[in-house]
Amino acid sequence: MKPRPPPSLKPSPKHLRTLSRANSPSEGIGGKWVSELWPNHFQVDVVREAFGPRLAGYTIALEAWRRGLRVRFFDSNLRKFEITDGKRKIKFDKSRPHLTTSEAVKIEQDKHLTSTYLSKAGVPVPNSWIIDPTAEDAEQKLRHLVAEAGYPVVLKPLRGSMGRDVYTNLRTEEQLLETYRHLRENTAAPKLILEQHFTGEDYRVLVVGDRLVAACLRKPANVTGDGTSTIDELIKAKNAVRRNNPYLCKKPITPDREVHEYLAKQNYTLTSIPAEGIPVQLRGKANASQGGDSIDKTAEIPAAVKDAAVRAVAAIPGLAIAGVDILYDARRSPVEDSFRVIELNSRPEIEINMYPWEGSGQDAPQHILDVFFPDTRRSADSGMEKLALDLEQLLAPLKGASAEQVLVRKKPTHNYPVRSWYRHGLSSPLSADKRNRIYLAARQASVSGRIWAEGNSGYLALFGTEDRVQKFIRLADKHLHLDHSSAQHWTGVVTQGFRIDG
């Protein structure tokens, strides 16, 4: 019976099953598990060590390393890293390359200035005005501008992200002034933006260079009734599924005050039992960080919306990559009047497009490397999608502050054609001397692999060429007592380097 490889080398079965049939598309779209719809080169087992905030940096760096480029990490959170082909060197801050200029970032962070640039480029944007809360006549100016703009309106900070302190669909003067006074007294925003409200669904479009890479629809946090479970139980079940998504795992639905208030508006509480198939919205904002869903729409959004997203990025001088936030109403016509570009983000979360709650995940790292290193291409060799970086080993010097940077060893050109595992006959932990001799054998043979034990059984995984694997076996067999008859082909993740667990 084939042994179960250690957790970092093989996906746990819980990543491939549905925990809540009513609240997860994991039962399949067209008969496929959701994980099968995510990018083939960045499946769960390959990115497991980078679940959460490290995901963007890891997937971009991994794609570069697989292409034979040099990768250097500057922090253990994988926020700062560098990629070079020997001629061109690009430093990244997560998904943002240094090719994006400081001036572009300055423009992008100022929502009103962004709208000005986009409007001049002919990109549809809502009309907007700046409000200075420190001005004595601020409320009077607010009333005057609303009289000109007409309700409903939006009020939000001039700078900000992730939907924080953004209030939409304000329909009365009472709502507007109450919101304005709340923002004035409870936020650090020196200036606010008053904006005409546009009704439409919330889309995030990823643009790299002049290439539209992905588009997804963002939905506010929600659950769907099954006729037997309470809303609280549905939330817990959905969160259990979200924990298995590399991107959504750190973004649960939290039943806070807003959720309670939103339920009350629908005559629900957490103990209510919605009928089967009835959707229950839990928040007003479509933010994944607050439990929202993402649904891939890359193939479905109209050409006019795609074109506007690309033109929006081109309108900001020095902007190399961006997430473009768009409100789009498919019911409106003509299509040119069915959407508005709301904001840009120069450091987009590419993971939202890679690991959607529903639909096909888009291979953003491949597009990013194609655009920024056009002379390189992803290898078509079999098994490339299983190559990964051993983050625990690589980042230990950065995590322990014993190094300022880590240069990843270049991937061998042979791509590890021989991948095998064996049982070994060791009945007790390796002595320090034997460990050193095995590590020396791995270096001399130029192989990668891993030795570990489970219960009373010990295992060895080896990766390299046929002659190098056999050389290691000749050098190390006397220390490991391998059962050569147990040799089988390894189908799990392949990491560079050699390690002995336990």
pTM: 0.88
**Tokens 């992200």 correspond to what residue?**
161
DSSP code at position 386: G
CB of 95 closer than 8 Å to CB of 348: yes
CB of 226 closer than 8 Å to CB of 236: no
Residuewise pLDDT in 10s, the chain (502 residues):
333 444 333 333 332 232 233 334 444 333 344 578 999 999 999 999 999 999 999 999 999 999 999 999 999 999 999 999 999 999 999 999 999 999 999 999 988 899 999 999 999 999 888 888 777 787 888 888 888 888 888 888 877 655 567 777 788 888 888 888 888 877 766 788 888 888 899 999 999 999 999 999 999 999 999 999 999 999 999 999 999 999 999 999 999 988 998 999 999 999 999 999 999 999 988 889 899 999 999 999 999 999 999 999 999 999 999 999 999 999 999 999 999 999 999 999 999 999 999 999 999 999 999 999 999 999 999 999 999 999 999 999 999 999 999 999 999 999 999 999 999 887 678 889 999 999 999 999 999 999 998 888 899 999 999 999 999 999 999 888 898 889 999 999 999 999 999 7
Residue ranges of domains in the chain, CATH in brackets: 38-94+380-407 (no CATH), 96-126+200-219+292-348 (3.30.470.20), 418-500 (3.30.70.100)
CA angle, 380 then 28 then 274, to 5°: 150
The helix (run of H) or strand (run of E) holding residue 340 is strand 339-345
